[in-house]
């Protein structure tokens, strides 16, 4: 029986339970830390280490199986579907925070300012509050702050991410054309641009906290700004790590033009992160 018409079903899997244990230790540690318990940070680090070991072990196992030709086309389709719907779930996660931004800007903040049938509420609760955006609310939570402009670092970051999308596609063309040099250079450029993006984002955060008075605690503007850009930045980091692994595997000589699911998945993920940023740039920074 040739491998191309078989569906590989592993009999035993030890990594899932290890990963679960790591995740639970990490989260229980974080919860303990938030509750002020001194054991929290230790548990978090320990759990994270277990989790990293799991990721490394599981992915090494999978790429080894893939390289030894154990996966048929049909298995590849399962993986592609898995990645596709995982990205869809991520889109829904970001949708929550975009929705929150929309709701507060267009509905609840104007209502606090007395719009619609809320005039009496405003008079009774916060008569002095004038609805505007950006705002830290009628309680001026977090004190005076400046909002983040769009056309400095954020615009530069937009160009950086768009370029990284191009370099990622260029690397893919290299892979398809069996041009190893182009593949590796393209991936190095993509990872490098990703890291540059994160660096600029860090500089922007530093500026916000030290010079602009803009923090996570700056009312609803600070909350939505840091939640959206923060989760996005985290996803850029994850994407860069994934692309880094793909780069390492390319350098080791993995991937064929007809068989390179890991590359495809990483590229999809990168483009998803890219598109989220475009949404962020428009709705958080520009408008």
Q: Which is nearer to other proteins, 109 or 242 (CB)?
A: 109
Cβ distance 153 to 200 under 8 Å?
yes
Cβ distance 19 to 58 under 8 Å?
yes
Q: Which is nearer to other proteins, 124 or 181 (CB)?
A: 124
Q: How far is CA 182 from the centre of its chain?
A: 26
d(CA 22, CA 49): 8
Please report, as residue ranges, which positions from 204 to 233 form the binding site for other proteins (by CB under 8 A): 215-217, 219-224, 226-227
Name which of 221, 236, 226, 219 is nearest 275 in CA terms. Answer: 236
DSSP per position, 215-245: -TTSHHHHHHHHHHHHHHHHHHHHHHHHHHH
Please report, as residue ranges, which positions from 6 to 45 form the binding site for other proteins (by CB under 8 A): 6-17, 19-21, 23-24, 27-28, 30-31, 34-35
Tell me the C-alpha to C-alpha distance, in Å, between residue 73 and each of 79, 208, 253, 265. 10, 49, 20, 15
**Contact range with other proteins by CB under 8 A, out of 4-12, 42-50, 249-257, 260-268:** 4-12
Q: Which is nearer to other proteins, 107 or 238 (CB)?
A: 107
**Contact range with other proteins by CB under 8 A, out of 96-104, 236-244, 247-255, 263-271:** 96-104
Residue 3 in contact with other proteins, rule: CB under 8 A = yes
Min separation Cβ 138 and other proteins, Å: 6
Min separation Cβ 14 and other proteins, Å: 5
Please report, as residue ranges, which positions from 99 to 158 form the binding site for other proteins (by CB under 8 A): 99-100, 103-104, 107-109, 111-112, 116-117, 125, 135-139, 141-142
Min separation Cβ 176 and other proteins, Å: 24
Cβ distance 28 to 51 under 8 Å?
no
Q: Which is nearer to other proteins, 12 or 181 (CB)?
A: 12
Site string for other proteins, 50-89 (x = CB under 8 A): --------x-----------x-x-x--xxx-xx--xx-xx
Exposure string (b/e) for 46-60, b if CB count within 10 Å is 16 or more?
ebbebbeebeeebee
Name which of 167, 195, 171 is nearest 182 in CA terms. Answer: 171
Min separation Cβ 210 and other proteins, Å: 17
Kindly state the number of chain residues that form the binding site for other proteins, as judged by CB under 8 A: 75
Cβ distance 254 to 63 under 8 Å?
yes
Min separation Cβ 198 and other proteins, Å: 20
């Amino acid at each position: 029986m040739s491998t191309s018409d078989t569906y590989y079903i592993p009999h035993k899997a030890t990594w899932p339970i290890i990963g679960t244990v790591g995740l639970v230790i990490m989260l229980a540690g974080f919860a303990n830390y938030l509750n002020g318990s001194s054991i929290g940070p230790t548990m978090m680090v320990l759990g994270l280490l277990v989790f990293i070991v799991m990721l490394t072990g599981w992915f090494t196992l999978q790429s080894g199986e893939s390289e030894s030709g154990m996966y048929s086309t049909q298995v590849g389709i399962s993986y592609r579907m898995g990645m596709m719907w995982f990205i869809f779930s991520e889109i829904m996660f970001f949708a929550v925070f975009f929705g929150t931004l929309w709701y507060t800007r267009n509905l609840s903040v104007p209502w606090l300012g007395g719009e619609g049938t809320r005039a009496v509420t405003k008079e009774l609760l916060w008569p002095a509050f004038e609805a505007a955006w950006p705002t830290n609310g009628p309680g001026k939570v977090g004190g005076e702050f400046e909002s983040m402009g769009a056309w400095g670092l954020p615009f530069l970051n937009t160009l950086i991410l768009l370029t990284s999308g191009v370099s990622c596609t260029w690397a893919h063309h290299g892979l398809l054309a069996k041009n190893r040099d182009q593949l590796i250079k393209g991936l190095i450029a993509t990872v490098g641009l990703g890291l540059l993006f994160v660096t600029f984002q860090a500089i922007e955060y530093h500026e916000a906290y030290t010079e602009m008075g803009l923090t996570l605690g700056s009312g609803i503007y600070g909350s939505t700004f840091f939640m959206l850009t923060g989760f996005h930045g985290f996803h850029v980091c994850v994407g860069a790590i994934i692309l880094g692994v793909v780069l390492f595997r390319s350098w080791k000589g993995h991937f064929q033009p007809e068989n390179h699911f890991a590359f495809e998945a990483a590229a999809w993920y990168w483009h998803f992160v890219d598109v989220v940023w475009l949404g962020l740039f428009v709705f958080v920074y520009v408008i």
